[in-house]
Structure 1
């Protein structure tokens, strides 16, 4: 009710929320974007932690143990998610730990009052020194620590990713892409008109659940001979020779990033093997880190008419690139046939699929597959993706490849990197591009007879979609557009915006979107209600304190000395005046008069009435009520007049007596700045 008051339905929803949180924890990869269930669990856990720390500090009187708990909780995400230091979070943690240290020190000094120095000396000397040391420690930790040498990121080759500095061949790229730290993995210089996609692993075998990396006979990579034979294409198809220089920095992988189709690789250090079947290079024991090498590529450039005239498939491909399990979810094949209906040739059918995936019907998201529980590349994940229509490159590539196979087209998936970001002008005929860890990518390929493997880019909002241009009027083939990033494009980072410029949402195309404008006039209602609720919540402490104080004064007017004395002590606590339980009423009354300006007669009136009812067992005398209430009001006025303006405001808006009772350890601690 009203957004804050729980009802029986609230309690009944808790088991479902905990189940949802457990599922998010099971399938999520840090940092996980919390859904409603995980958010509930986190808030409940922090609330429970607050209760435990309150018990440890106040009841068990072990503030240092509470500090250890705070540090332990903060270290878990710091260790689990490698990232830059969150300065604000660190400072808040440091302040909390220092505060608990102060609580512990004051608690010990209350136990041994004879050991305490005079109040003025303690405030000016010890407090100033402690604050100075604390400030210097925090500043040094925040400023100096980032300046120290940081260890380089290194991961075992073939590992699961960690910050995206390796290549995962098992299509678990989401684990790498969701890492918070982006690093530069390599730089590319090319003589080609556009920066190339860099392939590392091809996956052709699919059992319905997992795409397996290709394996075949290998040949040694040597500088003195081409590692692969030149690509053979049909007569009449133009080819271009490109030279690509690659300098790898923070990439530890046994799979070497290469432009396709590579023929010669020179400059590698260590033992490397080439797989002629898919023109990839792998090391059985080495790593790509710090490798500097050059690749020669012979790139086919067919015209639109030439690729439309080619059939898909080839005699030497094998069965793996067409194989599908016996049971394929109906939505996959049905959707493929529906999208490609009316196309005249395989190329047009594949372009129809590519255009459909890149339309506004789909959305790029790293989180949706985790939230919806289909973060994978199997048939079930593809079927769910086609329904949810939100995911990242793995889902687009796997769906495209499987749908192509349902249409009888040989397909496979490639794992590598998107084209990088241009970092400077062209020098010596080469453009330079930088590739980062977030540009790890997967895309599908389909084999065309007489041309070879042709890449497609179905991932919504990433890269450039494949297309080929018609021949020029003189019969020469014009340059095709394949999945290459235009050199003028600033980057290839994922974006939630579709690349189809000016495309409207389906609802807008049908005129449905006009309903939003008609309801805009009523949009002030929830905002106003929310503002009123916030005001009420902000005023709640002051209102509750006023109600409690009125009750105390009502009892005091009825002649209750204990209620009058309690009201005076709570007024003192609100204003930040220490009210320790170990202090006698006479000592507390004297301190209010001598140190805080309270009228001696009024304080003595309340003290004497309290002593009579406590020690002489006098009955409550209603005739003294008016005098007791007047004394409480007079003491409050004098204490308030002697308090700083900031303390008066806090006492009104956030009275301390609501949270600590006079006599507790916290009530004995004078607030910072008093």
Structure 2
């Protein structure tokens, strides 16, 4: 082998490795982009890409000097160490880049802090220093591994599997709808990686000759089919149902241990129920109640169930004869909820429709439970009869009674004094039990308290125990369980029976209706807890202390008015709005913005800007094939002028494919040139120049480059291209420019046609 040929082979080998390195970086970028769904975009994203680029550049440069594979990996690891030390740990390092013992001690602290943030945080997470350290560092390590597997070990499929696995981690951590654009981008980069690795191993002449000409088109076709099938078919496949307590997936269960923070901080807000009713407003839906408070934890009530087929499965309603009671029905359709408790309005008196499993009613709290069944896929109708006392009747009744259990009044001996002291302070001016409770309700819902899912975690009181309640009353930020638990304990310090209910807020209205009843949808973010207090002769009355959620309990002096609420199960005359959770408020605000924008557009006329934007985007999309083909032609022309005869010859072949001329692999360059001259009007002299250049490049000792024919071959190839375009009708010429077939059909492939049969 001559020195020129060896140099040419080395140059092409470097070009193949360079393309492979770029393809690895593109695939890593595609795997990194899903992370922005669980971590807010920030400087960490730039840092991760910069580190990956530096590692790959170091590996590519080391291989140019023919260093051993171990040395290449060590150099990449050194780059990783220097970068991570300089960016994150320079205060503990020598000269900012040399790790010390203090640097090594700081690493576990950063990792531990990041793991804690991931465990208790809600997506999208704030990009803190510790979290950025873990993500950027993991990206660098992944880059080293993929570069070694794909380039050194020559196993691109294994590297692709690793990249795909990493890209799935954010989807598992934050379940959401399929990101079609992200999936297509990832699939394209994986195909690009595999093809680049294959191309880097081909011999130089094999890449320039027609022997591999069909590979890109075939690979592109297979990849396109796979992507289309995955994008179109995946949404049609049945989706797996989530199990209660699994902690993953869109279908949550109900946590009756009052660790509701974990459920409310789920990254995806999913629809769990659909409800409609003939009542004036949609009721709260209860799952179970918690009365016993022992060891700093609220315990779910354990009571014997009665078959729903019994005559009165829920027992009698604890109301005096002079208390008005109204009858309503509600229909509940379970969309995605796996729970042993069936959410029902209060107080349920009859239920029909629960089929799967053995279901029973609990008369003590008017709930429905099962030891063998699940609510998943169930649909049922509930009759319920809420009490509607007047304001005077409630005020004349005391919050005590012989019908309640002792556990509803018990308090731990070590309850923090702050709870009782604040209860007395807030209710000092109230004369009746009801007034004391409404004073507590107003105090919690006032401006001093704030609804927050983050503060309990940050301040360390993410629970419902007495110590957590005391801390909540100091910080005055928390979510529903803190408000409900604090209200219930403060009511007990005032010698009133209380308990906590776990269930769902009423929901969000939809555009659907059934039998004239509007349908409301209930989301997983509306999982809720609220307190109840027992009033003798009336029964359990629910209150809503959680700031910013639900509707506070009020009563009217006129008991004859229909629909007056005794609890948050109905809207008040002062507020007819449906109670909403934080996630629902965001959805409603967004919908209102869209409606306002639509109304403004209808009043001022059609806004032309979106139309111009769509037209411009469409024009850019249609022009992309032409722009890509023109860029490729310019690259071929530049390569031909530098002496690459194969580039000039390939430009002629691709021009022929664009106008519909077959370019088979079995036809020699001279036979192909003769056919272009005789049948398609190509200039004979220019065609001879291009043929001479490719023959000299193929058979001369100088190899594929012939510097002295560069300009002549490039000019001749350009003349042939223009002649071929001029030889076809205008419609075919426009199609060849706007939709060039050579972008997907390679010369010599099975898609490029067969050699015509010559007449003898």
2:325 equivalent among 211, 236, 239: 239
Cα distance 1:22–1:70, how it changes in 2: closer, same or farther (>3 A)? same
- Residue of structure 1 in register with 2:410 after alignment: 323
> 1:465-484 maps to which residues of 2 (within 5 A)?
465-471=552-558, 479-480=564-565, 482-484=567-569
Secondary structure, aligned partner of 1:255? coil
Shift of 1:488: 6.1
- Show the counterpart of 2:243: 155
> Which residue does 1:76 correspond to in 2?
169
- Structure 1 residues 316, 355: CA separation in 2 closer, same or farther (over 3 Å shift)? same
Tell me, in whole angstroms, the C-alpha distance in 1 between the residues paired with 2:570 and 2:562: 21
Q: Which runs of 5+ in 2 are unaligned?
A: 1-42, 45-85, 94-102, 587-633, 646-706, 715-743, 745-760
Instruction: Judge which range, 298-307 or 126-135, deviates more.
Output: 126-135
Match of 1:461 in 2: 548
Matched, 1:594 2:664: no
- Equivalent residue, structure 2, for 1:553: none
Q: CA deviation at 1:382?
A: 2.3
Per the alignment, residue 350 of structure 2 pairs with 264
Q: 1:378 to 1:88 in 2, by over 3 A?
A: farther
What does residue 728 of structure 2 align with? none
Is the contact between residue 151 and residue 197 of structure 2 (CA under 8 Å) also seen in structure 1? no
* Structure 2 match to 1:451: 538
Distance 2:537 2:336 in 1: 38
Distance (Å, rounded) in 2 between the aligned partners of 1:368 and 1:26: 15
TM superposition score normalised by structure 1: 0.65
Deviation at 1:467, TM superposition (A): 1.3
Superimposed CA distance per residue, residues 275-313 of structure 1 (whole angstroms, 9 cap, x where no aligned partner): 221122212222233434333322211222221222112
Question: Using the alignment, how far apart are the partners of 1:262 and 1:462 within structure 2?
Answer: 24
Q: Work out the CA distance in 2 between the residues paired with 1:55 and 1:372.
A: 45
| Alpha-carbon separation, structure 1, partners of 2:133 and 2:385 | 56
Instruction: Note the C-alpha offset of 1:240.
Output: 1.4
Asked whether the equivalents of residues 421 and 489 of structure 1 are also in contact (C-alpha less than 8 Å), the reply is no
1:193-216 Cα shifts (integer Å, max 9, x gaps): 111111110110111432111112
Partners of 2:182 and 2:512 lie apart in 1 by 41
CA contact (8 A) 1:31 1:179 kept: no
Q: 1:219·1:227 contact (CA, 8 Å) conserved in 2? A: yes
Per-residue CA distance 1:511-552 (angstroms, 9 max, x = gap): xxxxxxxxxxxxxxxxxxxxxxxxxxxxxxxxxxxxxxxxxx
| 2:315 aligned partner | 229
Q: Could you say if the C-alpha distance between residues 331 and 101 of structure 1 is closer, same or farther in structure 2, counting changes exceeding 3 Å?
A: farther
Post-superposition Cα deviations, 1:598-652, rounded to whole Å, max 9, x if no partner, equal xxxxxxxxxxxxxxxxxxxxxxxxxxxxxxxxxxxxx9xx99xx9xxxxxxxxxx
Whether 1:106 and 2:192 are equivalent positions in the alignment is no
Q: 1:423 to 1:476 in 2, by over 3 A?
A: closer
* Whole-Å separation in 1 of the counterparts to 2:539 and 2:117: 42
- Residue 212 of structure 1: SS of its match in structure 2? strand
Aligned residue for 1:412? 499
Give the RMSD, CA atoms, in angstroms.
3.9
Over 3 Å counting, the alpha-carbon distance change for 1:136 and 1:396 in structure 2 is same
> Residue 182 of structure 2 aligns to a residue in which SS?
helix
How far the C-alpha of 1:70 sits from its partner, in A, is 1.2
Is residue 105 of structure 2 the alignment partner of residue 19 of structure 1? no
Aligned equivalents of 2:132, 2:296: Cα separation in 1:
31
Q: Do structure 1's residue 306 and structure 2's residue 399 form an aligned pair?
A: no
The aligned counterpart of 1:119 is 208
Alignment of 1:399 with 2:486, yes or no, is: yes
* Equivalent in the alignment of 1:8: 91
Look up the match of 1:46: 139
Query: Is the Cα contact below 8 Å between 1:463 and 1:484 reproduced in 2?
Result: no
- The 3 A distance-change label for structure 1 pair 187 and 5 is closer
Aligned to 1:564: none
The 2-side partners of 1:164 and 1:411 are apart by 31
Paired residues of 1:63 and 1:103 also in contact (CA < 8 A): no
In the alignment, the residues of structure 2 paired with residue 266 and residue 399 of structure 1 have an alpha-carbon distance, to the nearest angstrom, of 36
1:138 aligns with 2:219: no
Cα distance, 1:177 vs structure 2: 3.0
Counterparts of 1:311 and 1:105 in 2: how far apart (Å)?
A: 83
- 2-structure distance, mates of 1:336, 1:261: 28
For 1:362 and 1:52, how far apart are their aligned partners in 2?
50
- Following superposition, the deviation at residue 451 of structure 1 comes to 1.3
Q: Quick one: distance in 2 between partners of 1:425 and 1:481? A: 28
Kindly indicate whether the alpha-carbon contact (under 8 Å) linking 1:226 and 1:265 is maintained by their aligned counterparts in 2: no
- Please, what TM-score do these two structures have when normalized by structure 2? 0.59
How far 1:9 sits from its partner (Å)? 6.5
User: Aligned with 1:256: secondary structure?
Assistant: coil
Rounded to whole Å, the distance in 2 between the matches of 1:172 and 1:471 is 40
Q: Counterparts of 2:217 and 2:172 in 1: how far apart (Å)?
A: 34
Aligned-pair CA distance for 1:242: 1.8
For 2:371 and 2:437, how far apart are their aligned partners in 1? 36
CA contact (8 A) 1:154 1:252 kept: yes
Contact 1:362/1:390, CA 8 A, preserved across alignment: yes
